[in-house]
Amino acid sequence: MVGTSQELFDYIAMKLAEFVNKESDNYHHPAGRQRELGFTFSFPVMQLSIASGTLMRWTKGFSIDDMVGQDVVAELTQAMKRKGIDMRVSALVNDTVGTLAKGRYDNKDVAIAVILGTGTNAAYVEQANAVPKWHGSPPKSGDMVINTEWGNFKSSHLALTEYDNALDVDSLNPGEQTFEKMTSGMYLGEILRRVLYRMANEAALFGETVPPKLKMPFVLRTPEMAEMHHDVSPDLSVVGSILEDTLEISKTSPMTRRVTVAVCNIIVTRAASLAAAGILGILKKIGRDIAKDEETQKTVIAVDGGLYEHYIKYRECLEKTLKELLGDQSRHIELVHSNDGSGIGAALLGASHSKY
């Protein structure tokens, strides 16, 4: 995540080589035919063609300065050459766009794809004539995919707390990805740590001394937060053991455990509600937020990402909030989990842009 672009792309090329070497004997690659790759790259890219794009900025804790402004496909192609892999990238695909492609391939009602994982983002199908940035001839379908990069959304209506502001200042990308920092998996555990730290300092939540580990940024990860939040044992024993294992806080009282779960709940309720609001925003943009008549078209939203997949309370809150926001129209809207939609979708797009 931190280093040079050559190190990063050599690593990716090495993993690709390992994968190709593991190909089963049942698969025989046609002789003389180059392998083709759909390349999922989950960062903001200025993309002017299907198989090239320059990195605009890193997100999610990546920091490889020499890469910004460079073509990520060219970098990967050079790395593959260095490793002796005979492969070409036939499509460069953001993970949301991959998820949308896979979703749409399975079900024509899919119109929006959302990633809720380490980071967050959404892509959707827009009418090409509603895209002022597009200057070429309109696509045959009349549709165009928009990658919103909503993780970078910022507005005075987003009520930031002192925890959000402090997290932002200490991050590798201050002032950027504001919505992502309130909503996605990379940051929820860290917000929790910051709240607990203040409660330890000001209200002796963990006793007279402040546990030293609680000072360490990112020591509490979102998967552990989810485990605590999902604890249904009568004495919250899972919360107790996670506080002990990750923060070295032993013998926590039942009240301390309950407070910890309550804080998890507040942070996740806010995050999932914001994600639901983002989805409603896109539904509004494409006129699918209000039931038109009995024939109202169904809209399916394909969602991928570890946060959505594993943090059940997050997922439940997202679904409930979206339902509330949509009222009657919620009958026509469905969220589906698209497992590895981003990878499979990129493979589909890579195949459909094959040169063979």
| Among 53, 103, 151, 189, interactor with ligand BGC by CB under 6 A | 151
Binding residue count for ligand BGC, defined by CB under 6 A: 16
Of the candidates 153, 149, 97, the one whose C-alpha atom is nearest the C-alpha of residue 125 is 97
| Residues 174-233 contacting ligand BGC, CB under 6 A | 180
How many CB atoms lie under 10 A from the CB of residue 166? 13
The reply to whether 115 sits near ligand BGC by the rule CB under 6 A is yes
Window of 5-13, 27-35, 83-91, 94-102 that interacts with ligand BGC by CB under 6 A: 94-102
Tokens (6 digits) for 97 = 């766009």
Measured CA distances, 123 to 113, 300, 328 (Å): 5, 13, 24
| Residues 49-68 contacting ligand BGC, CB under 6 A | 59-60
| Among 9, 39, 43, 308, interactor with ligand BGC by CB under 6 A | 43
Nearest CB to ligand BGC, comparing residues 62 and 105:
62
Which helix (H) or strand (E) element contains residue 36? strand 35-40
Measured CA distances, 148 to 110, 113, 332 (Å): 16, 10, 23
Q: What is the rounded distance in angstroms from the CA atom of residue 15 to the CA atom of residue 87? A: 13
Window of 26-34, 116-124, 211-219, 277-285 that interacts with ligand BGC by CB under 6 A: 116-124
The reply to whether 278 sits near ligand BGC by the rule CB under 6 A is no
Nearest CB to ligand BGC, comparing residues 120 and 321:
120
User: CB of residue 124 vs ligand BGC: minimum separation in angstroms?
Assistant: 13
CB-closest chain residue to ligand BGC:
119
Taking a C-beta distance cutoff of 8 angstroms, is the pair 90, 37 a contact? yes
Window of 37-45, 124-132, 157-165, 212-220 that interacts with ligand BGC by CB under 6 A: 37-45
Nearest CB to ligand BGC, comparing residues 210 and 301:
301
User: CB of residue 28 vs ligand BGC: minimum separation in angstroms?
Assistant: 34
Fill in the amino acid letter for 283: L
- Which residues are designated catalytic? 42, 57, 95
Nearest CB to ligand BGC, comparing residues 94 and 321:
94
Of the candidates 116, 61, 124, the one whose C-alpha atom is nearest the C-alpha of residue 273 is 116
Tokens (6 digits) for 136 = 């070429």
Taking a C-beta distance cutoff of 8 angstroms, is the pair 259, 228 a contact? no
The reply to whether 341 sits near ligand BGC by the rule CB under 6 A is no
| Among 117, 189, 278, 345, interactor with ligand BGC by CB under 6 A | 117
Window of 79-87, 90-98, 201-209, 277-285 that interacts with ligand BGC by CB under 6 A: 90-98
Q: What is the rounded distance in angstroms from the CA atom of residue 334 to the CA atom of residue 279? A: 11
Nearest CB to ligand BGC, comparing residues 149 and 168:
149
| Among 38, 98, 119, 345, interactor with ligand BGC by CB under 6 A | 119
Contacts of 203 (CB under 8 A, 6+ apart): none
Three-state secondary structure call for residue 305: coil
User: CB of residue 44 vs ligand BGC: minimum separation in angstroms?
Assistant: 5
Taking a C-beta distance cutoff of 8 angstroms, is the pair 59, 176 a contact? yes
User: CB of residue 42 vs ligand BGC: minimum separation in angstroms?
Assistant: 4
Burial class (CB in 10 A: 0-12, 13-18, 19+), 157: exposed
Burial class (CB in 10 A: 0-12, 13-18, 19+), 334: middle
Three-state secondary structure call for residue 122: strand
Residues binding ligand BGC (CB under 6 A): 42-44, 59-60, 94-96, 115, 117, 119-121, 149, 151, 180
